[in-house]
């Protein structure tokens, strides 16, 4: 059971918009901890996609965006492309668990 809750799967057709939710609690997201998102393509290591809720590292297309409100966060992907098919993980910091990063269980994005 992951500390952060994500839907196991989402899907969309090429060109469409999808969102992935990430729900935490008062000891992580609700405590003001930032939310970060990672993309994991099949057979590869995770890659930072969004940091500090809504910031994109250099090289990440602006089709990817993040937001945070209360105890939840969301990742939005617009203009879906086949190469976006991957697992997506949210991550935050839990103030009740010393030093600990907490992750969502991951969401499998399928491009139809």
Partner 1 sequence: VHLLESGGGLVQPGGSLRLSCAASGFTFRNYDMSWVRQAPGKGLEWVSVVSGSGGSTYYADSVRGRFTISRDNSKNTLYLQMNSLRAEDTAVYYCANRDGYNYAPDWGQGTLVTVSS
Cβ closer to partner 1: 1 or 13? 1
* CA 41, 10, 51, 97 torsion-angle sign: negative
Q: Does 45 bind partner 1 (CB under 8 A)?
A: yes
| Residue 39 contacts partner 1 per CB under 8 A | no
In the chain, % helix, strand, coil (3-state, to 5) comes to 5, 45, 50
Distance from CA of residue 35 to its chain's centroid?
Answer: 8
Comparison of 36 and 68: residue with beta carbon closer to partner 1 = 36
Q: Does 79 contact partner 1 by CB under 8 A?
A: no
- 32: contact with partner 1 by CB under 8 A: no
Verify binding: residue 64, partner 1, rule CB under 8 A. no
CA distance 73 to 24: 8
Residues 4, 22 contacting (CB under 8 angstroms)? yes
Among 20, 38, 66, 80, binds partner 1 (CB under 8 A): 38
Binding residues for partner 1, per CB under 8 A? 2, 33-34, 36, 38, 44-48, 51-52, 57, 89, 91-93, 98-106
């Amino acid at each position: 059971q992951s500390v952060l809750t994500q839907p196991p799967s989402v899907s969309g057709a090429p060109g469409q918009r999808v969102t992935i939710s990430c729900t935490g609690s008062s000891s992580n997201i609700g405590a003001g901890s930032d939310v970060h998102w990672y993309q994991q393509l099949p057979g590869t290591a995770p890659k930072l996609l969004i940091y500090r809720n809504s910031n994109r590292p250099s090289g990440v297309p602006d089709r990817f965006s993040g937001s945070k409100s209360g105890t939840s966060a969301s990742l939005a992907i617009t203009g879906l492309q086949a190469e976006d098919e991957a697992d997506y993980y949210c991550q935050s910091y839990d103030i009740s668990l010393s030093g600990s990063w907490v992750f969502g269980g991951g969401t499998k994005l399928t491009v139809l």
